[in-house]
Amino acid sequence: MAGYIIQVKDLVSKYGQKVVHRGLNLGIKEGELYAIVGGSGAGKSTLLKTLLLLKKADGGKILFKGKDISNLSEKEIEDIKKRIGVMFQFSTMLSSLTVGQNIIYVIKKRYSIDYKTALDMAKLKLKLVGLSMDTFYMYPSELSGGMKKKAALAVAMSTDPDILFLDEPTSGLDPISAEEFDKLVRTLVDTTGTTIVQITHDLGSLMFVDTVAVISKGLVVYEGNPQNLTNVNDDWIQSLTNTTRFRRLLDGK
Amino acid sequence: MFLYIENNVLYLKGYWTVENFKDIKKQLTDLKNNSFDYVDASQLEKLDFYGGYLINQYLKDFDIKNIQDKNIEILKLSKDIPNLPPKKSNIFLELIEGFYQKLTDYVAFVSFTGEVLINSLRRVKDLEARNLFKELEETALKSLGIITVLSFLIGIVIAYQSSAMLATFGANIFIVDLVSISLARELSPLIVGIIVAGRSASSFTAEIGLMKVSEEIDFLKTLGISPYSTIVLPKLLTLIVWLPILITYSTILGILGAMIVSDITLGIPPNQFFQRLAETLSFDHYLAGVVKGPVFGIAIGLIGVYEGFKVQQKAESIGFSVTKSVVRGIFAIILIDAIFSVIYRWLDI
């Protein structure tokens, strides 16, 4: 059985006096597709920032492959950061570089790998996410929404991170492109074994994940199979599962 | 150690991942003179694309046995590296394309100017005093500080630089002629024009660009409100009215700076300086400089808003447009100033 790649134990996060997380717990297993959902202002983005080591926890522990990150040296933290990939909500890439150059830049900066390997790797990653090789020469501003998401995913996966975070990966995509992207993410988890964590509002995406964590009032109120969400006795989850969209998705499946 | 040979078998072991890429590559390169029959991957704990890439590059001619299921897929995915399509690079074609783009851009600018003028005048009722005051504050009042400092310093610099030369010829009093005429006719309009082009053209582009990206322009249009009258016209009017005032202000401050230096270095007291100033600086000189103001204002305003309206529905394009508007704004100021000089020469002004 796969071990946990990330465990969050009794996490407390604050902005000044405002408490965002008050003892939040969750565990992400290696090689799974994990989703974090919650209403607006539930603390999903703060959790993402904390997991990306961009914000320090105000209490509790975060374990990366069993190691408490608060006890690690700066060098060890930097090494962990290298093993984390992220695709931001707006598919952020360096706008002054082409997609191919973006991938090569990340590979060379993170691991000082020779140009030939970085170039070959850029081509492999573009193929992996289903983009044509023409995309290599295109600037992010020249790409459509769906292509930009895929390109950002290729950049995020360029150094084969142990865990990949996708922030609202299907936002701004039409339903067909969104489903195509969800399927791509599922395929990547199944073929490469990469752990992928999605922060999402898209109920459709939940149908493809292994585990869903629902955040409400600063706590994880449910963590488990998305199919069992309907049986959970929590106000927010009940409101979510009673929506017509969720019912339709469930029936469709 | 990521590999070793035993009984003519090459064993792969450990983590064949990106962190160990360089070490594994070195060990594979060192293998050159060794021979083995096949590769055993039973001790391979983890394989990623980088490890798979190395196996496919260095060990592609060998059978790989006992590889774990989870690693087989990675090995396949990292195998066939696609070729990039040839990069389209024809310098001649690029030059023609660049020239054509520039040409169409200038045509578009002229057409935009006409559109702005016609729409603004037809929908002048959409102009709001509130917008005019906002522009006055943003464009005019906020640039006063920098124009004060720069104009004063430029007056000081010109007076300092020329005082030594004039003193050599005993022509001390001509410093008033030199400073006042050069400032009034050329330097003050240029300083003001360049500062306003840098400050206001960029802010116009950024403001309108952001409004385009956030669909505010479309929102106004759907309400039946002309964006030209509500957004562009106040900016243009402010610049047309305010630039001559700024040029006058800049000239006065430059002359004040020069007067102080003249008193200190050439011993020309302020009353003598003013007496000479009244004799030298005719209204024609002043007018020759100040008349450039509205023309500069129109050029800066139109370039700033044109680049703003050209912003695509993507935030990144705002940066490119802002840079363009500043460069083109300054270029336009210098070009117009040169045209004025030629016209003045023809008209003997």
pLDDT higher for B141 or B333?
B333
Q: What would the mean pLDDT of B231-243 be, rounded to a whole number?
A: 90
DSSP A4-49: EEEEEEEEEEEETTEEEEEEEEEEEETT-EEEEEE-TTSSHHHHHH
- Give pLDDT, residue B24: 95
Three-state DSSP at A99 gives helix
Domain, as residue range, for B58: 3-77
Contacts of A193 in chain B (CB under 8 A): 70, 74
Q: What is the dihedral of CA B334, B336, B341, B346, to 10 degrees?
A: 160
Q: Give the total residue count for chain B.
A: 349
How close does chain A come to B88, measured CA to CA in Å?
10
Q: What would the mean pLDDT of B15-23 be, rounded to a whole number?
A: 94
B21 and A113: CB-CB below 8 Å? yes
Could you tell me if B57 and B127 lie in one domain? no
Cβ of B312 under 8 Å from any chain A Cβ? yes
Could you tell me if B69 and B169 lie in one domain? no
Closest alpha carbon to B322 in B213, B236, B245, B191: B213
Could you tell me if B182 and B302 lie in one domain? yes
Determine contact, residues B211/B318, Cβ cutoff 8 Å.
Answer: no
Contacts of B19 in chain A (CB under 8 A): 82, 111
Residue B247's pLDDT band, with cuts at 50, 70 and 90, is: very high
A124 and B78: CB-CB below 8 Å? yes
| pLDDT over 70 (residue A51) | yes
Could you tell me if B14 and B135 lie in one domain? no
The string of pLDDT tens digits covering residues B44-78 is 999 999 999 999 999 988 999 999 888 888 889 88
The string of pLDDT tens digits covering residues A75-124 is 888 889 889 999 988 888 888 899 999 999 999 998 999 999 999 999 99
Q: What would the mean pLDDT of B129-143 be, rounded to a whole number?
A: 82
- Give pLDDT, residue B86: 85
Closest alpha carbon to B52 in B38, B67, B66, B37: B67
Q: Which of A18-32, B37-51, B126-140, B238-252 has the lowest mean pLDDT?
A: B126-140
| pLDDT over 90 (residue A174) | no
Q: What would the mean pLDDT of B21-41 be, rounded to a whole number?
A: 90
CB-nearest to B81 from A95, A120, A191 is: A120
| Cα separations in angstroms, B250 against B64, B186, B241 | 81, 11, 15
How close does chain A come to B318, measured CA to CA in Å?
12
| Cα separations in angstroms, B97 against A131, A135, B94, B104, B328 | 27, 21, 5, 10, 20
Taking CA–CA distances from B46, the nearest residue in chain A reads A193
Burial status of residue B174 (CB atoms within 10 A of its CB: 0-12, 13-18, 19 or more): middle
Cβ of A95 under 8 Å from any chain B Cβ? yes
DSSP B85-109: PPP---HHHHHHHHHHHHHHHHHHH
Could you tell me if B136 and B279 lie in one domain? yes
Residue ending a domain, choose from B16, B49, B77: B77
* Percent residues over pLDDT 70 in chain B: 100
Could you tell me if B176 and B50 lie in one domain? no
Q: What would the mean pLDDT of B27-36 be, rounded to a whole number?
A: 86
Q: What would the mean pLDDT of A212-220 be, rounded to a whole number?
A: 90
Count of domains for chain B: 2
Mutation target for A interface from B23, B46, B50, B74: give the one with most A CBs within 10 A: B50
- Give pLDDT, residue B123: 75
B49 and A123: CB-CB below 8 Å? no
Could you tell me if B147 and B280 lie in one domain? yes
Residue A167's pLDDT band, with cuts at 50, 70 and 90, is: very high
CB-nearest to A133 from B74, B82, B312 is: B82
Mutation target for B interface from A91, A160, A190: give the one with most B CBs within 10 A: A160
B18 and A159: CB-CB below 8 Å? yes
Determine contact, residues B62/B36, Cβ cutoff 8 Å.
Answer: yes
For A212-227, b/e burial (b = at least 16 CB within 10 A) is: bbbbbebbbbbbeebe
Could you tell me if B309 and B194 lie in one domain? yes
Please give the Cα distance from A173 to A145 (Å, whole number).
7
Determine contact, residues A6/A62, Cβ cutoff 8 Å.
Answer: yes
| pLDDT over 60 (residue B291) | yes
- Give pLDDT, residue A223: 94
Q: What would the mean pLDDT of B83-92 be, rounded to a whole number?
A: 82
Token pair for B175: 């410093």
Could you tell me if B160 and B277 lie in one domain? yes
On whether residue B90 sits in a domain, the answer given is no
The string of pLDDT tens digits covering residues B292-329 is 999 999 999 999 999 999 887 677 788 889 999 999 99
On whether residue B214 sits in a domain, the answer given is yes
On whether residue B228 sits in a domain, the answer given is yes
The string of pLDDT tens digits covering residues A11-48 is 999 988 899 999 999 999 999 999 999 888 888 989 99
Determine contact, residues B329/B304, Cβ cutoff 8 Å.
Answer: yes
How close does chain B come to A57, measured CA to CA in Å?
28
The string of pLDDT tens digits covering residues B175-224 is 899 999 999 999 999 999 999 999 899 999 999 999 988 888 888 888 87
Q: What are phi and psi of A140, to 5 degrees?
A: -50, -35
On whether residue B104 sits in a domain, the answer given is no
Could you tell me if B125 and B271 lie in one domain? yes
> Is pTM beyond 0.80 here?
no
ipTM over 0.85: yes
Cβ of A128 under 8 Å from any chain B Cβ? yes
Could you tell me if B245 and B341 lie in one domain? yes
Taking CA–CA distances from A79, the nearest residue in chain B reads B19
HSE-CB at B324 with a 13 A cutoff on CA atoms is 20
Contacts of A160 in chain B (CB under 8 A): 17-18, 48-50
Cβ of A63 under 8 Å from any chain B Cβ? no
| pLDDT over 80 (residue B121) | no
Q: Which of A72-81, A180-189, B68-77, B129-138 has the lowest mean pLDDT?
A: B129-138
| pLDDT over 60 (residue A253) | no
Q: What would the mean pLDDT of B264-271 be, rounded to a whole number?
A: 88
Residue B92's pLDDT band, with cuts at 50, 70 and 90, is: confident
- Give pLDDT, residue A160: 93
Could you tell me if B149 and B41 lie in one domain? no
Residue A252's pLDDT band, with cuts at 50, 70 and 90, is: low
On whether residue B290 sits in a domain, the answer given is yes
Residue ending a domain, choose from B27, B62, B77: B77
Cβ of B58 under 8 Å from any chain A Cβ? no
B22 and A140: CB-CB below 8 Å? no
On whether residue B109 sits in a domain, the answer given is no
CB-nearest to B82 from A113, A127, A192 is: A127
Cβ under 8 Å to B: A residues 183-202: 191-193
On whether residue B35 sits in a domain, the answer given is yes
Residue ending a domain, choose from B77, B100, B134: B77
Contacts of A111 in chain B (CB under 8 A): 18-19, 21
Three-state DSSP at B248 gives helix
Q: Which of A125-134, A184-193, A237-246, B234-243 has the lowest mean pLDDT?
A: A237-246
On whether residue B107 sits in a domain, the answer given is no
